[in-house]
Amino acid sequence: MIVSVAAVNLRNMSVPLSVPLPDDTADAPSPRSRPALSPSRASDFKQCPLKYRLRAIDRVPEPPSRAAVRGTVVHAVLEDLFGLPAAERQPARAAELVPAAWERVRAERDGVDELVADGGPQALFEEVRKLVASYYELEDPRRFEPHALEERVEVDLDGDIPLRGFVDRIDVAPNGLLRVVDYKTGRSPGPMHEARALFQLKFYALMILRTRDIVPAQLRLIYLADKNILTYTPEREELDRFQRILTALWQAIIDAGRTGDFPPTRNSMCKFCDFKPLCPEYGGTPPPYPGWPVQTPIPADLVTERLPEDM
């Protein structure tokens, strides 16, 4: 079941949690590693197989967008915020974290300076601060300690279906109940588009089930732009069915990988796509198919990079 929760109601649902944070590390990426399945890559293939191919197999570079960079900075600020003692997680302190988070993003990503070339980063800082301020209307970060932040989750379903993803936050209540939280800097989807959000939530729930042998009590997407929250309470039988869906999806990807047949699909997201110059639907020609990679699975930090549609 997926439910939209207004901010005024969410404050009444908050549960104090108290669990220490673990350390987390990321491996160095290998550009020709075997693709894995993440919520973003699964969405790509369902939306347009050619888009999936160009991202996951060819790895055609995409220019950074302001939306993606803004979202990355917001995530960095919220991660840093939970690194502070609970009493220091005041809204004003969160606003002070923005410049340092921006500098980290600059150091990790090429080309982001061009996005703020006119007038410097101050306008971006204000956009980030506004979104972080919205977060305080949805949750009070002083009331709980996360169990994990930006945790990489990996599991191979049935031994040969590699699922990879990053979870923004995992909370564990004193009674052992587990909650998964993902931040979105865009607006919440309308009723006609909630299926994609539900797909992502089921994906996370299944990974948690297969790695921890526990069904999360709740999964939560926090939409900062319109201060809304979608919550999902999964059931084990539903997740077992969802695993069969992912198995069929991965088989379709493997079949396409063997033949190189990744057809383009014209849809409403085409207007945002950076691959239009390579798309036959728009008069372009894709590069020669490089073949299905056969090395070790690609690390989660490479297959799950934050894209504008993920924010």
Q: What is the pLDDT of residues 61-105, one digit of tens each?
A: 998 899 999 999 999 999 999 999 999 999 999 999 999 999 999
Looking up tokens 């939560």, which residue turns up? Answer: 220
Task: Indicate the SS3 state at residue 13.
Answer: helix
pLDDT confidence of residue 32: 58
Contact yes or no for 242/199 (Cβ under 8 A): no
Beta-carbon contacts of residue 84 (< 8 Å; ≥ 6 apart): 93
Distance between CA atoms of 292 and 311, rounded to whole angstroms?
29
Distance between CA atoms of 148 and 137, rounded to whole angstroms?
22
Q: How confident is the model at residue 196 (pLDDT cuts 50, 70, 90)?
A: confident
Q: How confident is the model at residue 225 (pLDDT cuts 50, 70, 90)?
A: very high
pLDDT confidence of residue 311: 54
pLDDT at residue 28 tops 60: no
CATH architecture of 2-22+32-59+144-249+297-310: Alpha-Beta Complex (3.90)
Q: How far is CA 212 from CA 120, 172, 189, 190, 218, in A?
A: 45, 12, 29, 32, 15
Q: Which residue has the higher pLDDT, 210 or 192?
A: 210
Q: How far apart are the first and last CA of the chain?
A: 22
Q: Is residue 58 classed exposed, middle or buried when 0-12, 13-18 and 19+ CB atoms within 10 A define those classes? A: middle
pTM: predicted TM-score of the whole model, two decimal places:
0.82
Mean confidence (pLDDT) of the chain: 86
| Token code pair at residue 266 | 């014209």
| Token code pair at residue 8 | 């005024």
pLDDT at residue 190 tops 80: yes
pLDDT digits (tens, 9 = 90+) for 240-285: 999 999 999 999 999 999 999 999 999 999 999 999 999 999 999 9
- For residue 220, give the nearest of 184, 174, 173, 166 by alpha carbon: 184
| Token code pair at residue 93 | 């302190």
pLDDT digits (tens, 9 = 90+) for 288-306: 999 998 754 444 444 445 4
Task: Indicate the SS3 state at residue 171.
Answer: strand
Contact yes or no for 164/36 (Cβ under 8 A): yes
The per-residue b/e assignment along 23-56, b for 16 or more CB within 10 angstroms, e otherwise, is eeeeeeeeeebbbbbbbbbbbbbebbbbbbbbbb
Task: Indicate the SS3 state at residue 49.
Answer: helix
Distance between CA atoms of 293 and 185, rounded to whole angstroms?
33
List the beta strands (DSSP E) in the chain: 2-6, 148-157, 161-172, 178-184, 218-223, 228-232
| Edge-to-edge strand ranges of the sheet holding 2-6 | 2-6, 228-232, 218-223, 178-184, 161-172, 148-157
